Amino acid sequence: MKFQLKNLALAIMTTIALTSCSNDDDNAPISGEGSLKLEFDNVYGDADLIFGTEYTNSNGEKVKPNNAIYIVSNIVLTKEDGTTYTVPKSESYFFVNEADAASTIITLPNIPAANYTSVKFGIGVDQEQFNAGADGQGDMWTTAQGLGMTWSWAAGYKFMKFEGTTTTTSHTDAVYRVHTGKTGDVYNYAEVTLNMPEKALVRTNVTPQVHIMADFKKVIDGTTKINFEEGLDVMGGTKVQNIMANNVPTMFEIHHVHND
């Protein structure tokens, strides 16, 4: 009887265990094109960035942001086999504006179906594009002007704008303005490469959404720290160079990838 019972139990379990194995490997070759979305989620430290909310920096200064815009450009996606897909340059400039929710999700069409493991992009407008001159800008200069993301043509685009009010030792709710871009002959274009914590599986019927955290605390309170007490406007010189070289490249991080 004991023997029989064992067999019975074993039979039931092995049957279920074996028949329930699902085939996770889809061996059909991946082909065609799909889309991929990059979602830029602006945060301040580990908190959601909400305009009008006061945040405190490591130097004790408080900021209440009310404007945050940056240019994302020259997107390159790396597949799991190490090869890359470069979004055509003429279609690879985006203004991410915290005040405009639709602008924070960038949809990239015509992406070859593949498993992608990292994404590279720039913040600002690269020198090559700027050198294309006024005629080479298409609508972009006008769009940038509309968002207050330009100086004079000679000074070029603002790469990132971060504004609000600040309370420091001698200021209370004073307007601060951080505008980055090229400083004289120094171009200050920043590049960022982010590894994906899970692969983005682009398929004809799957549009992965890559959720990127963009931490504005790092812009002014990162490796390089900005003291608004020293000046409420940060629009040039070594401060801007340091922000673009040290702070901006570290402010982005991929939180997760949805493959729906």
Binding interface with another protein (CB under 8 A)? 1-2, 5-6, 8-10, 12-13, 16-17, 19-20, 22, 24-26, 41, 43, 45-48, 197-199, 201, 206, 209, 211, 213, 255-256, 258-260
Return the number of the residue (54 or 191) whose C-beta is nearest another protein: 54
Alpha-helical runs (H) found in 59-206: 127-131, 140-146
Residues facing 71 on adjacent strands: 95
Return the number of the residue (194 or 232) whose C-beta is nearest another protein: 194
Return the number of the residue (10 or 132) whose C-beta is nearest another protein: 10
Return the number of the residue (49 or 234) whose C-beta is nearest another protein: 49
Task: Specify whether the CB–CB gap between 250 and 222 falls below 8 A.
Answer: yes
Return the number of the residue (225 or 258) whose C-beta is nearest another protein: 258
- What are the φ and ψ backbone dihedral angles of 221, each rounded to 5 degrees? -135, 45
Task: Specify whether the CB–CB gap between 94 and 103 falls below 8 A.
Answer: yes
- 258 alpha carbon, distance to own chain's centre: 15
Minimum Å distance from CB 97 to another protein? 19
- Residue spans of beta strands (DSSP E) within the chain: 33-44, 47-48, 55-56, 62-79, 84-86, 93-97, 105-112, 114-123, 158-167, 174-181, 190-202, 209-215, 233-234, 252-258
CA-closest candidate to residue 190, choices 144, 103, 252: 252
Minimum Å distance from CB 91 to another protein? 26
Minimum Å distance from CB 204 to another protein? 13
Minimum Å distance from CB 9 to another protein? 6
Minimum Å distance from CB 20 to another protein? 4
